Structure 1
Amino acid sequence: MQGLLVVVNRAAGTTDDDSVAAALKALRAGADVRVAATAGADELMEAVATRGDRRVVVVGGDGSVHAAVRALDRVGALATEEPVGIIPRGTGNDLAGTLGLPPDPAEAAAVVLTGVGRPVDLVRDDAGGVVVNAVHVGVGALAGAEAVRFKDRLGAAAFPLGAAIAGATTSGWPLRVEVDGRVAVHEAEGWAADGSTDVLMVAVCTGRTIGGGAPLAPDARVDDGLADVVVCAATGPVARAAFATALLAGRHGERDDVVVTRGREVSFSGPPVDLNADGELQEGVASRTWRVQRHAWSVLVPR
């Protein structure tokens, strides 16, 4: 019988007891299950390092998957030949949505037992971090920080509220953004993110959505070796509101103050600004470079 290590993040958004119980019941019907309820990076690393030949299954959202992938990577166990199972029970579950995983815990458990491994990309940064879905700099990070206050009460609806609050309190940062060594430029409008233009947000995505379904990179693919990059210069009050509306409809790429491009390496520099990588907030970052590693790991998906 197949052995599974089911990782439950006790601090995750909606990893409630009923959902965990439903998933475990379904998994135990077809596998030998060990549960690791971890509360921090050290406990998680210890759990995956001592898993033996058990397959890792993550119960949680993007933040929980991010933490598990980082732990596997740090113990040298991240590989396409060892697919990770995901039971999407976080607040956002954006990577799971991109991969077509069912939101029902029992149905997701069935995918773990009967699915096939799909190789997916990983974004690595120059500070030793990883990104499994999306990282955003500027207002997106502020929105995530604001949303934390409302997650317990509102669930995924906390993200649009956080974005509204963040958008009303910032006017952008003069950031330089380069994609594959070239400054991000809006060819038609003639503006460039070269450090002379205030930028509201920079996003680097392999997944399509953030914040529980907002289509930030609707054309992104998780397995093509490229990141979709969104640079927004909508810094005025009216422009910020219009950008937010367009984003929810997936039409923001049509705006004159938004650049959407693709590349393997993305970097930014400028004054210290916050960034959010799969829900993990990092404050006061003055520069960062991300590189896409194609097919660095794999996820069990429906056949």
Structure 2
Amino acid sequence: MPTDEPTHTTERTDGPGPGSADRRVLVLSNSSAGSSEEEIVERVCRELESCSPAGTEVVTPADDEEYAAAVASAVGRVVVVMGGDGSLHRLLQSVHDQDLLGRVGAVGVVPLGTGNDLARGAGIPLDPQAAARVAVAGARTERGLLVDDEGSVVVNVVHAGVAAEATAHAGDVKGVLGKAAYGWGALRAGLTSKGWHLRVSVDGENIADDGRPELMVTLALGSSVGGGTPVAPHARADDGQVEVVVAHGVSPLARVRFALDLRKGRHTQREDVTLTSGREVVVTAERDIDAFRVNTDGEVEEQRVARRSWRLLDQGWTLRVPEGSTGDVG
């Protein structure tokens, strides 16, 4: 007998199938997940299936081409990302590259990364099954999205200076130390970095060009990095602004005190820290030797650069969060 009730089906594919442009929730899984993570993914998929009236389509793209095709099939659909900030960055980068901003449905996150800072800041549960329920049935909140002059998007936080060096050092030991690698990287960078002479402009106004070297420049939509360090405790991803933090203190004592205050979110109260916000930011090295690394959503570029600019897009994206949560708050 015919029925109008939706069918609960889960389809696992290596790439998007011909019928993927439908109402099913699109679940993007990581093809490099280990066996222990695969078990979590299976449990999460069952949870998503039980919460999704139209069913789910789980896609594990094998390469960039398949990933782009999967994202293209997400127009008008809810998308659930299984992974950390890097996985979410990959999704929004593909959405931006394919000019799909505003066309892809709400995005849910099941945090399976190391730091999961965007999920933490947005109040999304770190328990995968609890996060799965929020991913398909949570409240919708609009989020900002930065893009730089190379076309790379920023979903959470981008750094220049010591914070980028710290992440680069953390990458050397992340496989061994896990989340603790961020602390090791920050310690090593803090002991060895002597600062960079940078000119920092926010909405056309120079806020760091007085000859002092800078220790760190951070542009933040989210509030934390490295698994919960409150790098921009007052940042909000839905206020139409990017928070800019510039740390000027580069003496050995200043670096130590800054690091201690940073762990507790008190660094923005320091006299050697400039805090502002805006929509367009330009960072320029004053000399060739001041070329700087850039760390975007936890990924550090190999090549140092002499100049980089960012602007906040008018068109952002929508994230699923727990009911009653408004995302990052100070």
Compute the TM-score of the two structures, normalised by the length of structure 2.
0.84
Cα offset for 1:38? Answer: 3.5
Render the CA deviation track for 1:98-134: whole Å, top value 9, x for unaligned.
1110111111111122113211111111211110110
Letter in 1 for 2:284: S
SS at match of 2:238: coil
Moved more, 193-202 or 10-19: 10-19
Check whether the contact 2:146–2:313 (CA below 8 A) recurs between aligned residues. Answer: yes
Once the two structures are superposed, the pairs formed by residues 41-80 of structure 1 within 5 Å of their partners are: 41-51=64-74, 54-79=77-102
Write the distance in 2 (CA, Å) between the matches of 1:39 and 1:279: 22
Alignment of 1:300 onto 2:320: yes
Cα offset for 1:295? Answer: 5.3
Q: Work out which of the two has the higher radius of gyration on C-alpha atoms and give 1 or 2.
A: 2
1:170 to 171, 189, 193: 193
Letter in 2 for 1:251: R
1:243 to 237, 253, 258: 258
Alignment of 1:232 onto 2:247: yes
Render the CA deviation track for 1:49-95: whole Å, top value 9, x for unaligned.
24465422111111110110111122222227711111111111111
Write the distance in 1 (CA, Å) between the matches of 2:50 and 2:238: 31
Moved more, 25-34 or 39-48: 39-48
Moved more, 53-62 or 208-217: 53-62
2:293 to 274, 277, 284: 274
Residues 196, 52 of structure 1: alpha-carbon distance in 2 compared, 3 angstrom cutoff: closer
Render the CA deviation track for 1:25-44: whole Å, top value 9, x for unaligned.
10122332222224654332
SS at match of 2:90: helix
Once the two structures are superposed, the pairs formed by residues 1-303 of structure 1 within 5 Å of their partners are: 1=6, 2-11=23-32, 16-31=37-52, 32-38=55-61, 41-51=64-74, 54-79=77-102, 82-184=105-207, 193-194=208-209, 196-270=211-285, 271-282=290-301, 283-294=303-314, 296-303=316-323
Identity across the alignment (%): 42
Residues 41, 81 of structure 1: alpha-carbon distance in 2 compared, 3 angstrom cutoff: closer
Moved more, 130-139 or 47-56: 47-56
Compute the TM-score of the two structures, normalised by the length of structure 1.
0.91
Q: Which structure 1 segments of 5+ residues have no match?
A: 185-192
Letter in 1 for 2:274: V
SS at match of 2:113: coil
Write the distance in 2 (CA, Å) between the matches of 1:44 and 1:29: 25
Write the distance in 2 (CA, Å) between the matches of 1:169 and 1:222: 32
Write the distance in 1 (CA, Å) between the matches of 2:315 and 2:95: 15
Write the distance in 1 (CA, Å) between the matches of 2:221 and 2:98: 24
Q: Which structure 2 segments of 5+ residues have no match?
A: 1-5, 7-22, 324-330
SS at match of 1:209: coil
SS at match of 1:244: helix
1:190 aligned residue: none
Residues 12, 148 of structure 1: alpha-carbon distance in 2 compared, 3 angstrom cutoff: farther
Check whether the contact 1:177–1:183 (CA below 8 A) recurs between aligned residues. Answer: yes
Write the distance in 2 (CA, Å) between the matches of 1:25 and 1:264: 41
Write the distance in 2 (CA, Å) between the matches of 1:12 and 1:256: 45
Write the distance in 1 (CA, Å) between the matches of 2:24 and 2:162: 42
Aligned residues: 295
Render the CA deviation track for 1:246-299: whole Å, top value 9, x for unaligned.
000101012121111111111100132101010121221111111112551101
Letter in 1 for 2:311: R
Letter in 2 for 1:119: E
Render the CA deviation track for 1:108-162: whole Å, top value 9, x for unaligned.
1111221132111111112111101100001111111111222233322211111
Moved more, 81-90 or 224-233: 81-90
SS at match of 1:27: helix
Check whether the contact 1:80–1:119 (CA below 8 A) recurs between aligned residues. Answer: no
Letter in 1 for 2:160: V
Check whether the contact 2:101–2:315 (CA below 8 A) recurs between aligned residues. Answer: no
| Structure number having the greater strand percentage | 1
Moved more, 18-27 or 56-65: 18-27
Residues 155, 295 of structure 1: alpha-carbon distance in 2 compared, 3 angstrom cutoff: farther
Check whether the contact 2:75–2:103 (CA below 8 A) recurs between aligned residues. Answer: no
Write the distance in 2 (CA, Å) between the matches of 1:200 and 1:279: 18
Check whether the contact 1:142–1:274 (CA below 8 A) recurs between aligned residues. Answer: yes
